[in-house]
Amino acid sequence: MYPAINGTLAGDNLAYLLVYANSVTKDLFGLLIVVGFFLIVFIGSMFMQLRIRAYVKPETSLLASSFATLGFALILEQYTGILSPVYFFIIFGILILSIVWNIITD
């Protein structure tokens, strides 16, 4: 076993390290992980659309990134418990708005 850092078994599992980083940053670390994941998927989806179709539909990229982020946030919350339920409502709201935007433009 690895030594404890401030009462947290940081070397035992990755979840302990994420919980420790979230406690040090006063619950900002989980939000930054989710926002970073959202931006990576959004930008990646836009570049893939540009590569495959030669034009970009931002509403489709927003839909893909919000759906993937909701799944990632659910997994992150179930495994580590570092996200607030408010973030789920925000992500779910973005998902609903992107679905509506995608239906309106098609």
Q: What is the pLDDT of residues 60-100, one digit of tens each?
A: 999 999 999 999 999 988 888 888 889 989 999 999 999 99
Residues in the chain: 106
pLDDT of amino acid 19:
81
Mean pLDDT for the stretch of residues 1-17: 64
pLDDT tens-digit map of 38-63: 999 999 999 999 999 999 999 999 99
- C-alpha span between 71 and 80 (Å, rounded): 14
Q: Residue 62 burial by CB count (10 A; 0-12/13-18/19+): exposed, middle or buried?
A: buried
CA dihedral sign of residues 21, 25, 31, 37 = negative
9 pLDDT tier (thresholds 50, 70, 90) = low
**pTM recorded for the entire structure:** 0.84
- C-alpha span between 7 and 12 (Å, rounded): 12
